[in-house]
Amino acid sequence: MIQLRKSSVVVDPACVGRLKSEFAQSGYVLLPQLLDTDLLQFLLPRLSQPRWIRRVEKNIAAEDVLDDELALSLLHFVSNSPAFLGAIREVCDCSGASVFRGRIYRLLPDPVHHDSWHDDVGDAQDHRLVGMSINLGPRAYAGGLFQLRDFISKRMIREVANTGWGDATLFRISLQLEHQVSAVTGKEPRIAFAGWFRSDMDDFFTSLRRASARSE
C-alpha cells in the first residue's frame, strides 16, 4: 500500500515494485486508498461549499473548480511529501519529478460539463511528466470513465471508473498518449484532486519558503 496521511506517508516497497512493472507496461496504475479516512473526512464538508467557479478550457473541458485555499493547500502538502515523491519517481521511472500541482474540480451530470481527448503535455515551461487524479467524492458516480488511448492508432489502453473514495490514478504524460473523462450521468458529481508531477526548478516547499520571504 501507498497511503497519504495527515502526519505520515506509508510506502510498501513490495507494492512499489509491482506498480512499477504495471506502469512500465501500460502507462497507468491505480493507487487504492491513497488518501486515508481522516484526510477524507476533513475534506468532505469543504466540498459542499458553494465556492465552485466555472472553468472552461477551449476545445478541451468545462468544469467547476473549488475556491478553497485550505483544502487545496492540505492536498498539495501531503502530495508533495518527500517520501511520496520518491515513491512516484520509482513507480513511474521519472527521476526528474520534483513537485505536484493540481486543482480540486467537479464534473456534474450536465451536458455543459465535459472533458475531451487531449495529451496534457502543455508547453515547454510546464515540464509535465505524470498525471494524477484522486477521487474525493464519497458516493459512487455513474459514467465519468477515465479513458487512456494511443494517439496514432486510437487503441484504448485503459477505461476505468475511479469511484473508490480516496483512490487515485497515475498516468503517463506523452505525445503518444491522450486521455479524457467520459460524460458523468446519474445524480452524483465526479469530484477529484487532479494535476501533474512536474520537473520544476523548485520543489513545493522551496516555493513556499520563497513566497514567505517575499511577503515579509
pLDDT confidence band for 210 (50 / 70 / 90):
low
Give per-residue pLDDT as tens, 144-168.
999 999 999 999 999 999 999 999 9
Residues in the chain: 216
What are the extents of the domains in the chain? 2-215
d(CA 15, CA 87): 10
- The fourth-level CATH superfamily of domain 2-215 is q2cbj1_9rhob like domain (2.60.120.620)
For 36-43, what is the mean pLDDT? 96
What confidence score (pLDDT) does residue 53 get?
Answer: 95
| DSSP-derived secondary structure letter, 59 | T
Q: What proportion of the chain, given as a percentage, has pLDDT over 70?
A: 94
What confidence score (pLDDT) does residue 166 get?
Answer: 97
- Long-range contact pairs involving 148-155 (C-beta distance under 8 Å, separation at least 24): 148/27, 148/28, 148/177, 148/178, 148/179, 149/117, 149/177, 149/178, 149/179, 150/176, 150/177, 151/119, 151/175, 151/176, 151/177, 151/178, 152/176
d(CA 49, CA 52): 8
Q: For residue 146, give the C-alpha cell.
A: 477515465
For 14-39, what is the mean pLDDT? 95
Give per-residue pLDDT as tens, 45-80.
999 988 999 999 887 889 999 999 999 999 999 999
Give per-residue pLDDT as tens, 97-149.
999 999 999 999 988 898 899 888 876 666 899 999 999 999 999 999 999 99
pLDDT confidence band for 215 (50 / 70 / 90):
low
